[in-house]
Structure 1
Amino acid sequence: MRNVSISREGLPETVLPPENPEIVELLDAALQLENQNLRREKLNQIAGRFPSSIEVWKTMGLAGRDTMESYAAFRVGYHRGLDALRKNGWRGSGYVRWGHPSNRAFLECLSGLQRISEQIGDFAESERCGIFLLQLDPEMPDNL
């Protein structure tokens, strides 16, 4: 129950803790594999070891073989991110800003979910994700 502060505007701001450096190293090594099947196998192994890691699910979403595989990974990352936010004091509203690097995996999962929801024709979901992103950080970059 930490990393929540009141901003100048009065809304609380939550900052997720940094990712485990071991996970980051494992993901970097997996992404260096040229063989797509080996890369996927390694990413699945990492997800099995660290299922609550938002960074793992974000990476799997970006490395997905197709739209629905990416969609599923981004959705899991989004939900793992909500769990992590709640664990760190977030109560369903307030800022989760892009300016804090440790928040980015969650925001990228939400952005990925928004983008793919639009691609598959789930426009209501895409709109909800877009609104949520703006609520979390009105100044977040548009090019995610």
Structure 2
Amino acid sequence: MTSFGDLLGPPPTLLPGDDDAESDLLNGVEPSAVAAAHPSASIAWAHLAEASLDGALDGAEPDLARVVAAYAYARTGYHRGLDQLRRNGWKGFGPVPWSHEENRGFLRCVGSLARAAKAVGEEDEYLRCLDLLNDSDPVAIRELGLD
């Protein structure tokens, strides 16, 4: 049985993470430098996307330059995460648990992409991101404040 209670579903995909990128971020290295040095590390792109979104949606009108930058960062991390998921056995569906720390870079990128898409009025993309998060692990939506 998977951790999501589906006897016939695929097992959860657990990404290996990127120890060097994660260590750099924990030690205060600028996320743009981490992304440049470790471009396949979704966690670095998640940091960049979240930093771009921070405060960009607080006013009556979003700061579109920051929202578009966040969209690009999140989209990059999302695609790099999809590459990693596929290399680790994911077939385009199935659990990607939030509880597995190394999955969070990818899931955070999807959450940031959802926020940025909504801010620019791309409702279909916003809903696709929510569906992906829900299919990956419904806990992620709550943890990312998207519920």
TM-score, normalising length: structure 2? 0.79
Deviation (angstroms), 1:51: 0.8
Structure-2 residue corresponding to 1:104: 104
From 8, 11, 20, the counterpart of 2:9: 11
Aligned counterparts of 1:139 and 1:47: Cα–Cα separation in 2: 26
Alignment of 1:1-144 (within 5 A): 7=2, 8-9=5-6, 10-12=8-10, 13-20=12-19, 22-30=20-28, 42-64=30-52, 66-144=66-144
Deviation (angstroms), 1:116: 1.1
Deviation (angstroms), 1:109: 0.5
Q: What runs of 5+ residues in structure 2 fail to find an aligned partner?
A: 54-65
Higher strand share goes to which structure? 1
Q: What runs of 5+ residues in structure 1 fail to find an aligned partner?
A: 1-5, 32-41
Tell me the alpha carbon deviations over residues 33-69 of structure 1, each in whole angstroms, 9 at most, x when there is no partner: xxxxxxxxx4333222111111111111112271111
Tell me the alpha carbon deviations over residues 83-134 of structure 1, each in whole angstroms, 9 at most, x when there is no partner: 0000101011111011111111111100110111011100010011111111
% identity of equivalent residues: 35
Aligned counterparts of 1:72 and 1:134: Cα–Cα separation in 2: 22
Deviation (angstroms), 1:143: 4.2
Deviation (angstroms), 1:26: 2.0
Are the equivalent residues in 1 in contact too, given 2:97–2:136 (CA < 8 A)?
yes
Give the match's secondary structure for 2:52: coil
Moved over 3 A (4+): 28-31
TM-score, normalising length: structure 1? 0.80
